[in-house]
Structure formats: structure tokens, C-alpha cells
Structure 1
């Protein structure tokens, strides 16, 4: 029976491979986004843009909140409900 099911599921092998590859890429992206060095670089870029006048103070605060929120968000992409601060 195992041989028959292996033969019948063989056409799905490419689909399984693509799904696996997509999950692997997603994991790598999440790891990179959570990397403290990446977060620090993003915060430094936000500060530099604000210093250069490309961002207002409110835009700077919003961008910093977004970066820190992403850093503090639990793995798996689930987020807490939006809160007013």
C-alpha cells in the first residue's frame, strides 16, 4: 500500500517543494526582521531622515513605533489588538 500511495502522491512533490521553500524563506525573513542589528539600523535611518528634514517629528515617532512593534510582536505573525497610546 505504501508504494501505491507514494506513486499516486508523486505529482504533488513539486507543490510540496514549493510550499517548503516558501516556509523556509518566510522563516529567514522573520529572523532577519527580528535581528537587533537590523532594528538598530532602521532606527538610525529614521533618525537620520528626521535630522535631514525628510520626516516630521510625528512621522519619526510613528516609524519608530512601527519598528519597535514589529520587534516586540510574537513570532508567527499574530498581533495584539491595536491600542491607542
Structure 2
């Protein structure tokens, strides 16, 4: 960008900075959400809750399906893009 456009867009710098920060937070949240280790840990906690009687068999099945779907998406993305952070 030229000097004039930089000066004219200067009032928008906080907005651009905020958008960048939000993008970084979103990227990190997606990376954690689709991390296979995180998903496996959640599956283990889910099974513990079932064994402790905290959740019903139906709730276990529903949540397990959601976690397995996330794991499948993570595996597919890692194989296809190499980073596996976005569905």
C-alpha cells in the first residue's frame, strides 16, 4: 500500500488489529477442537461418566457419535491438508 492509503486507513488500524487477533483465537480454538489427543481424552472422560452413572446410555451414544465425527473430520483434514485445523 502507498503512503496515502496508509494514512487514510489509519483510523481503521484498531479494527484490522482486532480482526487479526480474533482470527488467531479462532484458528487456535479449531486446532484444539480437532486435535485427536483432545478428542480421545474427551472420549475417555465420557466413558468414565457412563461408568459412574452420571449419564444415560442414550446420552453416551449421542455424545460418542459427535466425538467420533470430530475425530473422523480431524483425520480426513490431516490427510488432505496436512494441518487438520479446519473442517
**TM-score by shorter chain over 0.5:** yes
Q: Which runs of 5+ in 1 are unaligned?
A: 78-85
TM-superposed CA distance for 1:53, in Å, is 0.4
Q: Which runs of 5+ in 2 are unaligned?
A: 78-84
User: C-alpha root-mean-square deviation of aligned residues, in Å?
Assistant: 1.7
TM-score (norm 2): 0.78
Higher relative contact order (CA 8 A, sep 6+): 2
> Residue 34 of structure 2 corresponds to which residue in structure 1?
34
TM-score (norm 1): 0.80
More helix by share: 2
May I ask how many residue pairs the two structures share in their alignment? 77
Moved over 4 A (4+): 74-77
